[in-house]
């Protein structure tokens, strides 16, 4: 019987300290500048990438990034593997850990990836769970650095479903980066209080802050970065009709953008124009969404390299 391993994983944003996050972001910038200079997965080594939920950017950016690092991506269809039903998560972890140098998993509850990490014997990376999406926020911090020069001291506002993975990951990652993070969503769509408290604890050490701001206009006022995400996360499709009207005041549109401080606009995609964001804002001059999408590859290369070489 395997015992939980001491190996370092990236399961949530605060698995990195503030200094480690800065180190990984520096590495991401260096890898972006010279994409083929560093091949820590050469050998070749295999990286298992498993999807229990839909994907486009995540699969594309991991496959491309693993290739650039000299490794081989082994994409596993979660619907075929049926992890946790056909066989236990622990058994899958032990099997994949014997085939791959690293495991990347997009799945449902965070407890599933924690169990995978406990038994894999190799580093595990969270490619989105119901609670966190830390690879996206690493890419976003890289994008903010590129467009605003730095992250510390800037105000980042997330509008919409603040109870979803993106809301949680912005709270933790922004606090680590010394940012002032505001999340704003309708009643019933507020972040997990434990995650908000953890972000506030981190922010106390980095000079940032983390808070819920109920009024979307107040949340957007003076923000350097304005972010939204779909109102209907994967798995919540049944609530689609109910949410549209409740979320309307949080739509990222020209009026909210005008309240920002020359704000850049971010969205992890997929985006629904006319719902959480208007087309003129998403496709307008303040939007940096395509840089964000590209930066997934650079940020993920950096976290993979950091995990396998440390």
Active site residues: 106, 133, 136, 229, 268, 296
Contact between 164 and ligand NVA per CB under 6 A: yes
Could you tell me if 276 and 233 are in contact, meaning their C-beta atoms sit under 8 angstroms apart?
Answer: no
**Which of 160, 222, 169 is CA-nearest to residue 192?**
169
Only one residue has tokens 């269809």, namely 77
158 three-state secondary structure: strand
Residue nearest to ligand NVA (CB): 233
Instruction: Using CB under 6 A, pick the residue from 124, 166, 183, 264 that binds ligand NVA.
Output: 166
Contact between 304 and ligand NVA per CB under 6 A: no
Question: And the tokens for 6?
Answer: 């001491």
**Which residue's CB is nearer to ligand NVA, number 46 or number 165?**
165
Question: Which residues are part of a known binding site for carbamoyl phosphate?
Answer: 82, 106, 133-136, 268-269, 296
At its nearest, how many Å lie between ligand NVA and the CB of residue 278? 19
**Which residue's CB is nearer to ligand NVA, number 144 or number 268?**
268
**Which residue's CB is nearer to ligand NVA, number 165 or number 206?**
165
Number of residues interacting with ligand NVA: please give it, by CB under 6 A.
10
Question: Which residues are part of a known binding site?
Answer: 82, 106, 133-136, 165, 229, 233-234, 268-269, 296
**Which residue's CB is nearer to ligand NVA, number 92 or number 164?**
164
Interface characters, 210-239, with ligand NVA (x: CB under 6 A):
-------------------xx--xx-----
CA–CA gap between residue 189 and residue 45 (Å, rounded): 41
Contact between 129 and ligand NVA per CB under 6 A: no
**Which residue's CB is nearer to ligand NVA, number 21 or number 230?**
230
Contact between 165 and ligand NVA per CB under 6 A: yes
**Which residue's CB is nearer to ligand NVA, number 115 or number 229?**
229
At its nearest, how many Å lie between ligand NVA and the CB of residue 268? 5
Long-range contacts: 3-7, Cβ < 8 Å, 24+? 4/118, 4/119, 5/117, 5/118, 5/119, 5/120, 5/121, 7/117, 7/120, 7/121, 7/122, 7/123
Stretch that binds ligand NVA, among 70-78, 85-93, 158-166, 195-203 (CB under 6 A): 158-166
Contact between 143 and ligand NVA per CB under 6 A: no
CA–CA gap between residue 12 and residue 18 (Å, rounded): 13
Q: String of b and e for 169-197 (b: at least 16 CB within 10 Å)?
A: bbbbbbbbbbbbbbbbbbeebbbeeebbe
Could you tell me if 12 and 166 are in contact, meaning their C-beta atoms sit under 8 angstroms apart?
Answer: no
* H/E stretch holding 29: helix 18-33
At its nearest, how many Å lie between ligand NVA and the CB of residue 300? 14
Stretch that binds ligand NVA, among 37-45, 72-80, 163-171, 199-207 (CB under 6 A): 163-171
Interface characters, 243-282, with ligand NVA (x: CB under 6 A):
-------------------------x--------------
Could you tell me if 74 and 101 are in contact, meaning their C-beta atoms sit under 8 angstroms apart?
Answer: no
Contact between 52 and ligand NVA per CB under 6 A: no
By DSSP bridging, strand 225-228 and strand 264-267 are parallel
CA–CA gap between residue 279 and residue 293 (Å, rounded): 17
Evaluated on CA atoms 97, 100, 102, 107, the torsion sign reads negative
Q: Which residues bind ligand NVA (CB under 6 A)?
A: 128, 133, 164-166, 229-230, 233-234, 268
């Amino acid at each position: 019987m395997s015992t939980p391993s001491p190996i370092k994983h990236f399961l949530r944003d605060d698995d990195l300290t503030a200094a480690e996050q800065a180190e990984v972001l520096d590495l991401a910038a260096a890898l972006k500048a010279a994409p083929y200079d560093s091949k820590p997965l050469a050998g070749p080594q295999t990286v298992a990438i498993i999807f229990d939920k839909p994907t486009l950017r995540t699969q594309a950016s991991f496959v491309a990034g693993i290739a650039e690092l000299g490794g081989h991506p082994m994409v596993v269809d979660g619907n075929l593997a049926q992890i946790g039903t056909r066989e236990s998560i622990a058994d899958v972890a032990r099997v994949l850990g014997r085939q791959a140098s690293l495991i990347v998993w997009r799945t449902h509850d965070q407890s599933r990836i924690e169990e995978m990490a406990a038994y894999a014997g190799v580093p595990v990376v969270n490619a989105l769970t119901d609670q966190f999406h830390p690879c996206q926020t690493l890419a976003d911090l890289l994008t903010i650095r590129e467009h605003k020069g730095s992250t510390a001291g800037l105000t980042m506002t997330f509008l919409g479903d603040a109870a979803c993975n993106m809301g949680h990951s912005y709270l933790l990652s922004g606090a680590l980066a010394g940012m002032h993070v505001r999340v704003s969503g309708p009643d019933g769509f507020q972040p997990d209080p434990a995650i908000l408290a953890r972000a506030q604890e981190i922010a106390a050490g980095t000079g940032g802050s983390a808070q819920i701001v109920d009024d979307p206009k107040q949340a957007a006022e003076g923000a350097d970065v304005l972010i939204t995400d779909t109102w209907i996360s994967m798995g919540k499709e049944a609530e689609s009709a109910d949410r549209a009207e409740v979320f309307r005041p949080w739509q990222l549109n020209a009026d909210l953008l005008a309240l920002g401080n020359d704000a850049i606009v971010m969205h992890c995609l997929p985006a629904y124009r006319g719902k959480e964001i208007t087309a003129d804002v998403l496709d307008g001059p303040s939007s940096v969404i395509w840089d964000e999408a590209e930066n997934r590859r650079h940020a993920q290369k950096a976290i993979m390299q950091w995990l396998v070489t440390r």
